[in-house]
Structure 1
Amino acid sequence: MKFSSSLKFNAVADWWDEYIAYDALKKYIYQLEKSQHVQSSYTDLETNERTALVDRSAETDAVFVPLLDAELEKICKFYEKQETELLNEVTELEEAVQQQETAGFGEDPYADVPYEDDEDDDDDDDSVSHSPRRRRRVSSSGHRMSLSVSGARSRTDDVRRSVSSVSSDGHGDSPTSPTAPVGTLGRIANKLTPDFMRHSATSEMLRDTVWTSKTEFAYDTRLLFKRRITTLYISITSLKSYVEVNYSGFRKILKKYDKVTYRELKDTYLHNTVETANPFTAASRATLTTLTARLVDLYAKCVTRGDHSLAKQQLRLHQRENIAWERNTVWRQMIGRERHGEGGATVALEELALQEEGSEKPGTLFRVGRLRVTRSKVAMVVAVAIFSALLAFPVVEGGPQNRCFAILIFCTVLWATEAIPLFVTSLTVPLLIVCLSVIRDDNGEVLSPKAATSVIFSLMFSPTIMLLIGGFTISSALSKTNIDRVLITRVLSLAGTRPSTVLLAFMGVSCFASMWISNVAAPTLCFTLIRPILRTLPPKSSFAPCLILAIALAANIGGQSSPISSPQNLIALAAMDPPVSWGGWFAVALPVSAISLVLIWGLLLVSYRPARSPDGGRDIEIKVIRPTRESFTLKQWWVTFVCLVTIALWCVARAIEGYVGDIGVIAIIPIVAFFATGILKKDDFEQFAWTIVFLAMGGIALGKGVERSGLLDVLGDLIRRTLHGASLYQVVLILSPIVLVISTFISHTIASVLLVPIAKEIGSTLPQPYPNLLIFITGLICSAGMGMPVSGFPNQTAATQEDDLGVLYLTNVDFLKNGVPASIIATLVIATIGYLLILATGVH
């Protein structure tokens, strides 16, 4: 959680204006960053050249430190005021407890205080039964004490009835008066006869103290002091939290200041200024600790009959309940839903806005009464209709083959339209395959549902799926230990200030990161790193959209560079027989990716001319990204070692096959190494992209269903007749644009699920079979479909990037103008250079 969100979440609502103005200080830092970048490069009047050799960053301290001082002064004044009030209230409470303890039953300390009617006392403890009407007395300290004047307990009634005949001696009101204070019972007791004193219940009452007695007055007294002690305890703990949160605020904002302006102010200011201020000294902490201890003592005396352990437990429980109550607001619940991916806040706000405008939600076609007809519902109806028609009217010869064809078309429509979540469609594949009796054995006999279940589930959880989970583990470990950010910033620090060089450096980093931390996380990380650059660019600079689009396109290219960089690569590997080794994959994919990257970089330079200033002046200079100064920790070295060993074993998996069996077994190594040593936790495992895992499992199941049902043989005959006489390279040229178009408009993973089996069958039907070659090319081209904003995760992430005013950096025109040519370039590289490299490596 960002500190600005954490501050809102942990702050006391009534004190909000008294906390450190973290967001305002952060904006000042960004303004200083921009001015610092402008001032650092100036024009030399003698040589008429721009230079960046002058470092004026120290001037920012003179601007920023007074802002910090003002915030610190505000916090100190507020703290001193609260501390003084709390000290006085605790002292006053102790005096009141002592006075009540001294008075006991003999004198009511509130007897001379007038009553104040309170018909509706909703603050009473619901766990205790009270009289229907209560009256309150106001103490000299301003606190209100609830006393019952009716519904007294049986022993009190006995006392009143017993003394009703005793004449008054002039001290206080008549005991039978309905308004007589309960505290006069002590004076009444002096007039009791010896026989009455021998009454066991009354004797027990008189032996009790006000803190242990079961009388109504004693109960009300304890309840009053319990509430006052609890309220003060919560106030003191809130003040403690106020100090801690503000100290964290100073530490966080100084850390951000040092990081953005490349200064080293944090340690000096914290130690010399913040920690010497009154709220943050050891003496102040000791004062608050002493106050809480005094309240625990009072609570133990007044409520828990001297049990300090129980007193601490109950006070902490009250504190937790208070915090939970304060945080249990609508907007906090909406934040929680957003955090869990439900999009509660966004959806609620969008629906409210649409209701106010009288508009329909996006995707609504029309309404039939109260039924809202959407595109997804229409797509679902169309898919079911086609599925039912194909089952009722066979179009493929053979029962299992036709049923499998119906499943294939049904899932294709759902995947293409996303009528339901993609992974849900994948989960329907084994359900339909088993229930419709699609799987056959080697003799062509249809398997029973039980036998088909065993076959299809054993195929779904394959070594390929284990490899995918191992890749998620490596990605999570690299991100959690900050290794990815450390390595990336060190590489980017060498890029300099020239826009073209910075652009190529970011593209290389995005591509490389996508190989190991997935092409979903890599662009997100890069977009975070370019924020300082975007903030210092001139308004309307073309470098901003150019850089964002370049990162997305490079991440797509990185998706083809390693076997674990994207699910489509794993699906291609699973379909190969035998699967290509990691070394063989790198031998083809790395040169193809590098060439594609350089050509796309040239395309973006020509299209955007990012070095040119918006006003037509001199070329812009890019803010230098400096590497993090933290050295590698033992934990980071351990993660690096395990990752390198795992990757090395994957590369030589073919040679050690007799020992490990399959690369999926090697994938278990990082899982055990990271989770067993505490690098990763249970929560990290739960946050893996399990939807992608099930998507890949459904794809594998569908591919095996097409194969084991006999549908693949039917398609093979059709393809063989269609491509009769075509050479291998002609088939490559025909297949490549088909794969590119499909992968541009639907998910890359779904494209591979649908097209890899077809490519395998096409390759098998050729005069000289090359199934692995066509599978390899299909898997690579699936990652090259990047011509639209919806083409893959990197493009979708890039399309949502906004500037400080909320304006999107990229439009559909940017993708059409640059993404489509980039897709064509990458496909041509794969179909030419990639094709030759695959032949050279002996993949067939």
Structure 2
Amino acid sequence: MKFGKQLEITANVEWRQYYVQYKKLKRLIKRVAFEIERGQRKQDKAEKKSKGYQSPGLPRPPNVVATDSVSLTASGKSKNKATSEANESTPLLSPPSDLNLENIAESKKEFWEMTNANIQSANDFYRKKVTHIAKIIKDFESMLRDDDNASHGHVSSKPRTMSHEADRGFAAIQDCYDTLVDLKQFVNLNHTGFRKIVKKFDKTTGENALDGFMKQLNREDFYSSNDIDNLIDRLFAITSKDKLEAGNIERRIKRQQGNQDSLFRKVKIAPFSISTVVFILLLVIPIPGEIDVQQRCLAMLVYITSLWVTEALPYFATSMLVPVLVVFLRILNDKRNPEVLLDAKSAAKEVTSLLVNHTTILIMGGFSISAALSKCQIELYIAAFLQRRFKKSPRTFLLAIMMMGLFLSMWINNHTAPVLCISVLLPIIRDFPQHSAYVKTLLIGLAFACNLGGMMTPIASLQNTLAQSYMEKAGIFVSFGQWMLIAVPFCTFSTILCWMFLLWAFDPSDVKYIPQIVYDQKQRVNQVHIAVVVLTMTTIVMWALFTFIAPTVGDMSIISLMLMVSLFGTGILSQFDFNSFSWHILFLIGGGNVLGEAVTRSGLLETLSHSLIKALPSGSVWQSTLFLCLLVLGLTTFISHTVASLILLPIIVQLSVEIGQPQIPVMSCALAISAAMGLPFASFPNINSLLVLDDHGEPYLQVNDFLKVGLVFSIFTVGLIVSIGYWLILVVLG
């Protein structure tokens, strides 16, 4: 078994951050190798230049140095092997800086800095644990001495002072022993990991650093100290050695088999319990003016939202709960006869069919493009291009990523664009520190930019397509070009403001530069590369021109299926690539689809909308637009953009016609739907960023990260819509 896998399986999950960061260090070694290879390639080019052009069969000019005159060693040093006979006019090779020596040295320095930081982290954690356990054992020993003195008729002269752990009796002793056993394994795993990673470094660079490194490592506290053995001996003096060892074996067996505690390790008991109690109360306590089915739906909506917000269950597991509750609570009505509720069998068929719809297939098309680009390392080339341009300016790099997400969303919709952008970002963010503020800013910035990109064109998001359709039915015509004249300047300006806001909110100063992207420098363009690029560009063009080809293809998801047939049918992608799709994201979206359908079919959303619309002010068009945009923002924050557009837009169009100048409030509300970014579950770009995982399978973002900035920026964006956006709509549409 490879050590990385062994470390993942064997390591104590709660101590994960203190182990050697083996995967990150391996990536740093690859970066060193990348820089060395780049230096060799630069050297080869320099040597070819020094030779000049020679026709076949002609002797080499005497002033040209032989090919082996300069060689770049793995350690990054150049050795001049040229003989003294070389003519003084011989062309010189590139200076060391051109041979990439500086970058090689920087990469090596970064590797050793991270290695030393890992060692320091292991040392600090080791000392903390040993000190804590030593205190507990000392308390037990003091207690035993006092008891022994009391049994001989003596009274201790000092009050008994014991830590809370000492009061727990033998269980505390067993915990101490188990922790020491784990700590011993922690020491051995780290020692092995550091040895293996430096050995790999030597193999890659041709250096011989291992011997000196191991001498230093063996002197580190966490390895050289005998504290663990001494503390275990003191525990054996307190209680039976056999009993402690038996208890430890039992604990390990339970850990492997999965005991009651580990069964619920992903459940946050307190928020889950509170949410469940509130759910039951909403079900049983009558709400004045609410119809029974709507009350049940409201209870479910509050329950699911609270589980998502508190992360009481994994997100996709909560989504899977939605169809179950919809069936059990009998929320769906019959489409042909809305007064009749569906029985369990009919409701089950409907909700399971809703888990996968055209949006799901569209996103799978995005996953397919991402997988195909990854096969050819195209996403690495894009990431490397951006890294070269913005290496020393992480803040400008953030803006570039946001603009890329904005532009792609404009043409290929904001369901597919985030998937492609994340595939570009992953090689970069995995080398940043854990809990990095910059990573949070990058992922949230991309999500917000793609949300704004969803406003840019009628095909950028489903809500735009629906808004255009409903307006045409009401006799309001907004062309593709007019939409862009309004949305492109507005969204570009909003994205720049969003960038500035995120920099202020997160202050991502923990990253000073964008690390080098490692890719295969020897890779040549082949038929697979050409096929992937052609298929990808064809799909993107078809998505962009969907308005014109809709009578033929019917839906954008059909274009996705055509792409998938091409990629999987030709063998560019395999069944293993299909199995590796982010199915948890797809089920999260599926749960949102079912929730939206339940809120719609129960009549709850219409009731809430009409009750709020009754309060619509009777003043100017601007006042009505402001009220409607705030209403849209409030409702769309808790349900998906797509569902909100399906329900709210027909009502808004009808009201806007009565107000006069209907194009202004309808267009403003269409933009406001995409502005709802407060919760991660309202839009796919938010979901996509939320579920990006680090090396340990942990998410970079939490719901609180979205709440911190999402609600504020959503309100701010609506403010921009009813000011700058309102003026643009007046200018373009009159």
Q: TM-score of the superposition, structure 1-length normalised? A: 0.47
User: Would you say the 8 A contact 1:777–1:831 is kept in 2?
Assistant: no
What residue is the counterpart of 2:493 in the other structure?
A: 595
Cα 1:837–1:439 shift into 2, 3 Å = farther
Partner of 1:408: 297
**Where does residue 671 of structure 2 map in the other structure?**
777
Larger CA Rg, structure 1 vs 2: 1
* Deviation of the 1:413 alpha carbon: 0.9
**Is contact 1:563-1:569 (8 Å) kept?**
yes
Asked if structure 1 preserves the Cα contact closer than 8 Å seen for 2:453 and 2:491, the reply is yes
Q: Would the aligned equivalents of 2:632 and 2:673 in 1 still touch at CA under 8 Å?
A: no
Q: Which whole-Å CA distance do the structure 2 matches of 1:527 and 1:346 have between them?
A: 36
Whose relative contact order is higher, 1 or 2, with alpha carbons under 8 Å and at least 6 apart? 2
Asked if 1:552 corresponds to 2:447, the answer is no
Quote the Cα distance in structure 2 between the aligned partners of 1:623 and 1:668: 36
Give the letter aligned to residue 667 of structure 1: S
What is the aligned partner in structure 2 of residue 380 from structure 1? 276
1:56 to 101, 120, 126: 101
CA distance in 2, matches of 1:708, 1:534: 46
Secondary structure (helix, strand or coil) at the match of 1:664 reads helix
Q: Do the aligned residues in 1 keep the contact of 2:675 with 2:718 (CA within 8 Å)?
A: yes
Q: Is contact 2:678-2:714 (8 Å) kept?
A: yes
SS at match of 1:656: helix
* Of 364, 387, 405, the match for 1:469: 364
How far, CA to CA, are the matches of 1:556 and 1:574 in structure 2?
A: 21
Residues 257-296 of structure 1 mapped to structure 2, 5 A cutoff: none
Aligned partners of 2:27 and 2:372: how far apart in 1?
32
**Partner AA of 2:530 in structure 1:** W
1:37-88 deviation line (CA, Å, top 9, x unaligned): xxx9xxxxxxxxxx98895348759999xx9xxxxxxxxxxxxxxxxxxxxx
Q: Secondary structure at the match of 1:493?
A: helix
Supply the AA of the counterpart residue of 1:422: T
SS at match of 1:668: helix
**Amino acid paired to 1:681:** S
Partner of residue 562, structure 2 = 669
Q: Distance in 1 between matches of 2:360 and 2:700?
A: 37
Counterpart residue type for residue 571 of structure 2: G
In 1, are the aligned partners of 2:668 and 2:725 still within 8 Å (CA)? no
Could you tell me whether the CA contact under 8 Å between 1:760 and 1:775 is conserved in 2?
Answer: no
Residue 722 (str. 1) matches residue 615 (str. 2): yes
Whole-Å Cα distance in 2 between the matches of residues 347 and 584 of structure 1? 59
Q: Distance in 2 between matches of 1:452 and 1:57?
A: 66
Counterpart position of 2:547: 654
Q: Is the 8 A contact 2:283 2:296 kept in 1?
A: yes
Secondary structure of the 2:618 match is coil
SS class of match (2:543): helix
In 2 relative to 1, CA 490–424 (structure 1 residues): closer, same or farther, beyond 3 Å? same
Q: CA, structure 1 residues 816+718, in 2 after alignment: closer, same or farther (shift >3 Å)?
A: closer
Instruction: Please give the alpha-carbon distance, in whole angstroms, between the structure 2 residues aligned to 1:28 and 1:643.
Output: 31
Which amino acid counterpart does residue 566 of structure 2 have in structure 1?
A
Q: Does 1:501 align with 2:396?
A: yes
Q: Distance in 2 between matches of 1:761 and 1:610?
A: 42
TM-score of the aligned structures, taking structure 2 as reference length: 0.53
Mean CA deviation greater in 511-520 or 724-733: 511-520
User: Alpha-carbon deviation of 1:528?
Assistant: 3.7
Taking the aligned partners of 1:7 and 1:723, their CA distance within structure 2 comes to 63
How far has the Cα of 1:383 moved from its partner? 1.7
Give the AA of the match of 2:557.
Answer: G
Q: Secondary structure at 1:549's aligned position in 2?
A: helix
Pair 1:625–1:821, CA change in 2 (3 A): farther
Q: Is the 8 A contact 2:553 2:559 kept in 1?
A: yes
- Identity among equivalent positions (%) equals 24
SS in 2 for 1:494: helix
Partners of 1:62 and 1:525 lie apart in 2 by 21
Q: For 1:584 and 1:476, how far apart are their aligned partners in 2?
A: 35
Counterpart residue number, 1:636: 529
Letter in 2 for 1:672: V
Contact 2:355–2:591 (CA under 8 A) maintained in structure 1: yes
How far apart are the structure 2 equivalents of 1:9 and 1:702?
A: 37
Is the 1:468–1:570 Cα contact (8 Å) retained in structure 2?
Answer: no
Q: Give the residue type in structure 1 aligned to 2:671.
A: I
Is contact 1:518-1:559 (8 Å) kept? no
Which residue of 2 is the match for residue 757 of structure 1?
647
Pairwise CA RMSD of aligned residues?
6.2
Contact 1:571/1:752, CA 8 A, preserved across alignment: yes
Q: Is the 8 A contact 2:365 2:564 kept in 1?
A: yes
What does residue range 240-389 of structure 1 map to in structure 2 within 5 Å? 348=262, 363-364=268-269, 374-389=270-285
Change in Cα spacing, 1:727 to 1:508, as seen in structure 2 (3 Å) is same
C-alpha displacement at 1:672, in angstroms? Answer: 0.9
Closer, same or farther in 2 for the Cα pair 1:592/1:794, shift >3 Å?
Answer: farther
Letter in 2 for 1:505: A
Work out whether residues 379 and 414 of structure 1, in 8 Å CA contact, stay in contact via their aligned partners in 2: yes
Instruction: Please list the CA deviations of residues 112-155 of structure 1 after superposition, one character each: whole Å capped at 9, or x if unmatched.
Output: xxxxxxxxxxxxxxxxxxxxxxxxxxxxxxxxxxxxxxxxxxxx
Contact 1:784 1:823 in 2 (8 A): yes
Contact 2:365 / 2:416 at 8 angstroms: preserved in 1?
Answer: no
Whole-Å Cα distance in 1 between the matches of residues 614 and 528 of structure 2? 59
User: In the alignment, which residue of structure 1 is the partner of 2:4?
Assistant: 5
Query: Contact 1:642–1:670 at 8 Å: present in 2 too?
Result: yes
For residue 526 of structure 1, what is the aligned residue in structure 2? 425
Deviations 1:765-793 (A, max 9, x none): 331566863662243112466899x9944
Q: Which amino acid aligns with 2:318?
A: L
State how far apart, in whole Å, the 1-side matches of 2:504 and 2:391 are. Answer: 21
For residues 400 and 560 of structure 2, the distance between their equivalents in structure 1, rounded to whole angstroms, comes to 31
- 1:635, CA displacement in angstroms? 2.0
Residues 721/704 of structure 1: CA separation in 2 closer, same or farther (3 Å cut): same
How far 1:376 moved relative to its partner? Answer: 1.2
2:373 alignment partner in structure 1: 478
Q: 1:395 maps to which residue?
A: 289
State how 1:505-516 maps to structure 2 within 5 Å.
505-509=400-404, 515=414
Tell me the equivalent position of 1:431: 327
1:706–1:712 contact (8 Å) kept in structure 2 = yes
Amino acid in the other structure paired with 1:413: V
Superposition deviation, residue 491 in structure 1: 2.8
Contact 2:633/2:676 (<8 A) preserved: yes
Q: Residues 452 and 25 from structure 1, CA distance in 2 versus in 1: closer, same or farther, beyond 3 angstroms?
A: closer
Change (3 A) 1:669 1:457: same
**Is the Cα contact below 8 Å between 2:370 and 2:423 reproduced in 1?**
no
Preserved contact between residue 371 and residue 577 of structure 2 (Cα < 8 Å): yes
Output the CA distance in 2 between the equivalents of 1:661 and 1:813: 39
Give distance in 2, aligned partners of 1:693 and 1:55.
Answer: 44
Deviations 1:647-672 (A, max 9, x none): 22222223223322232322211121
Aligned residues: 513
- Deviations along 1:90-115, one digit per CA (max 9) or x if unpaired, are xxxxxxxxxxxxxxxxxxxxxxxxxx
Question: Following TM superposition, by how much is the alpha carbon of 1:409 offset from its aligned partner in structure 2, in angstroms?
Answer: 0.5
Structure holding more helix per residue: 2
CA-CA distance at 1:533 after TM superposition: 7.2
Distance of aligned partners of 1:471 and 1:727 in 2 relative to their CA distance in 1, 3 Å threshold: farther
User: What are structure 1's unaligned runs of at least 5 residues?
Assistant: 12-20, 41-50, 68-248, 258-264, 270-329, 338-343, 352-360, 365-373, 397-401, 615-619
CA deviation after TM superposition for structure 1 residue 389, in Å = 4.1
